[in-house]
Amino acid sequence: MTKVKNIPFDPEQITTYTRTHTDDRYKNSSLKVIGPSFMTWDQGGSAGRYTVNYEEVVYVVEGEVTFTFYPEDAEPQVITGVAGDVITIVAGSNLDYSGTKGTKIFVVFSPLNWEELLESTQG
């Protein structure tokens, strides 16, 4: 088994959402713990409010992304990232991702079963 792998773009690994789409490179990898993915905003606005019960590292490739965190018993906190910024998200964070049209982020998350751990908090 090859220990190092280049994971090229594969149109079969694109997932389309309301305002965004993801290029899920982890689906073609042999990684067992972490997952790399690109997210791009096709329309400006919110990608949704969720509780992420996993860890994420977000690198802003281009555009501007805003994370609004909703801590328990505290005022919301807003963090904006632009190209070159790295944002970390700890497990259990309740947040909303918003981006301008064309914004692209590179996300690495752990563990790989993140979809099972994601909780929508939209009403």
pLDDT, average across residues 79-94: 95
Whether residue 112 contacts residue 75, with contact meaning beta carbons closer than 8 Å, is answered with no
pLDDT the model gives residue 30: 82
Q: Which domains does the chain have, with CATH numbers?
A: 15-114 (2.60.120.10)
pLDDT the model gives residue 31: 84
d(CA 16, CA 34): 21
Model confidence at 2, in pLDDT bands (50, 70, 90)? confident
Q: Which residues pair with 96 in a beta bridge?
A: 49, 68
pLDDT the model gives residue 123: 44
How confident is the model over 26-44, as pLDDT tens digits?
888 888 888 999 999 999 9
Count the neighbouring beta carbons within 10 Å of the beta carbon of residue 91: 13
How confident is the model over 55-76, as pLDDT tens digits?
999 999 999 999 999 998 899 9
